[in-house]
Amino acid sequence: MTMTQTSDFNPWEGMHKTSSHAYFVSRRVDESLNSQQRDLHWSLDEMDSPALLIGYDANEQHIEPMPRFKGIASGEDRGRHLIVIALKDPAMREAFLKVCLDIIKVLQTAPVDQQRHAAILRLERWAYFFQGKRSGLTEEEQKGLIAELLCFRRIALRLLTPKAALQSWTGPQQAVHDFSFGQIALEVKSNRGAGTPTITISSATQLSVNDNERLFLYVVEVNQEPSQTEGHTLSDYVQQTRALLDSPLDALEFDLRLSKIGFDETDDYSGTAWSIGAIRQFTVPEDFPHIDESLLDPAISGVTYKVNLNHCGTFEISEDALLKTVGGGNA
């Protein structure tokens, strides 16, 4: 997320509020920021608060609700096909301007007939940014995200359109499994290779499926390296994956999912480099080593356990076999 220096920039300077509630006093965002001349206006709302007006196509079909912010109001006038975001907490003025500039930049490449959808995707991402104190992802969380990005690239994007592949990536939505392809689910895990063959299962339900589902494990060896010459940072893996998405809207959806996980471009991950080793796939039938929640005493909860993959060889399959199975399930 671009965090442009904004201290000396005041697009609302010289504006005077209007006494009428029927319209906003406004000034079109100039060409230096708005090269595509989209329907974007700096404005003051009825309370004399700085605002940005985002016009959109009357025929646009997306109906997502407006995201909610702390210190920033968002609303919509459907009759005039207009989104309004306005500053409510004066202490957040510079942050608000950064939000506005970021949305303006994003809308330069978004399809003009999907401007509302693009704006809301970006607003949702900022909403996650403002939810509270952020400290970036831990090393374990970085490894987990890298593993999911590899699965997204090597499985989902090979079988589906980018839009459908993003929809299959359900982990950021707090779903039970990381990827869902109809009745086929993938659980993604990272480990440290042959020297550490175990993976951590975080609940008694994580390796459970119903009678109509099939579950697979996708295990990626992610190793920490002493320098970036021998590996890549988490930000590198994110950028490499985003580069595979041609549509600006798909890129916005991708960034929103990253925000839900806790990743943001402004976080500094330059101090840790990672390399990818072996990638292994396992089918998870009923007799795969796991804890069956239905057999647990009801008094037991919060189960976390480890599975040693060296004892799971009979369940291992090739990546080609996994692609064929998932692809067949989506034919």
Express each pLDDT in 99-150 by its tens digit. Answer: 999 999 999 999 999 999 999 999 999 988 887 656 789 999 999 999 999 9
Quote the crossing angle between the two packed helices 234-242 and 248-261, to the nearest 10°: 150
For residues 214 and 171, state if they share a domain. Answer: yes
CA neighbor of 39 nearest in space, from 98, 94, 5, 84: 84
- The three-class DSSP label of residue 243 is coil
For residues 216 and 318, state if they share a domain. Answer: yes
For residues 118 and 207, state if they share a domain. Answer: no
Report pLDDT digits (tens) over 218-262. 999 999 988 777 789 999 999 999 999 999 999 999 999 999 999
For residues 280 and 148, state if they share a domain. Answer: yes
Least confident of 89-103, 150-164, 217-231, 309-323: 217-231
What per-residue confidence (pLDDT) applies to 181? 96
Among 79, 95, 129, the domain-final residue is 129
Contacts (Cβ under 8 Å, ≥6 apart) of 203: 303, 304
Contacts (Cβ under 8 Å, ≥6 apart) of 234: 137, 142, 145, 146, 263, 269, 272, 274
What per-residue confidence (pLDDT) applies to 5? 53
Higher pLDDT, 301 or 103: 103
Query: Is 112:249 a contact under the CB 8 Å cutoff?
Result: no
The boundaries of the domain holding residue 215 are: 139-329
Averaged pLDDT for residues 23-31? 86
For residues 112 and 244, state if they share a domain. Answer: no
Task: Calculate the average pLDDT of the chain.
Answer: 89
For residues 162 and 257, state if they share a domain. Answer: yes
What per-residue confidence (pLDDT) applies to 23? 57
Among 76, 105, 129, the domain-final residue is 129
For residues 115 and 185, state if they share a domain. Answer: no
Residue 14 lies in a domain: no
Contacts (Cβ under 8 Å, ≥6 apart) of 142: 234, 269, 272, 274
pLDDT classification of 15: cutoffs 50, 70, 90: confident
Using the predicted structure, report yes or no on whether residue 289 has a pLDDT greater than 50. Answer: yes
Higher pLDDT, 247 or 331: 247
Residue 3 lies in a domain: no
Residue 9 lies in a domain: no
What per-residue confidence (pLDDT) applies to 63? 72
Averaged pLDDT for residues 293-311? 90
What per-residue confidence (pLDDT) applies to 171? 93
CA neighbor of 191 nearest in space, from 204, 201, 200: 200
CA neighbor of 188 nearest in space, from 238, 152, 241, 163: 152
Using the predicted structure, report yes or no on whether residue 7 has a pLDDT greater than 90. Answer: no
pLDDT classification of 331: cutoffs 50, 70, 90: very low
DSSP 59-127: T----PPPP--SSEEEEEETTTTEEEEEE--GGGHHHHHHHHHHHHHHHTTS-GGGHHHHHHHHHHHHH
DSSP 120-173: HHHHHHHHHHTSS------HHHHHHHHHHHHHIIIIIHHHS-HHHHHHHB-GGG
Q: How many domains does the chain fold into?
A: 2
For residues 37 and 77, state if they share a domain. Answer: yes
Residue 213 lies in a domain: yes
Strand segments, DSSP code E, in 165-252 are 179-181, 184-191, 198-201, 214-225
Using the predicted structure, report yes or no on whether residue 21 has a pLDDT greater than 70. Answer: no
What per-residue confidence (pLDDT) applies to 330? 57
Among 129, 162, 181, the domain-final residue is 129
For residues 171 and 287, state if they share a domain. Answer: yes
For residues 116 and 188, state if they share a domain. Answer: no
Both structure tokens of 151: 């699965």
Residue 294 lies in a domain: yes
For residues 148 and 272, state if they share a domain. Answer: yes
For residues 242 and 319, state if they share a domain. Answer: yes
Residue 2 lies in a domain: no
Residue 17 lies in a domain: no
Report pLDDT digits (tens) over 62-89. 677 888 888 899 888 888 899 999 999 9
- The three-class DSSP label of residue 216 is strand
By CB atoms closer than 10 A (0-12, 13-18, 19+), residue 40 is: buried
Residue 6 lies in a domain: no
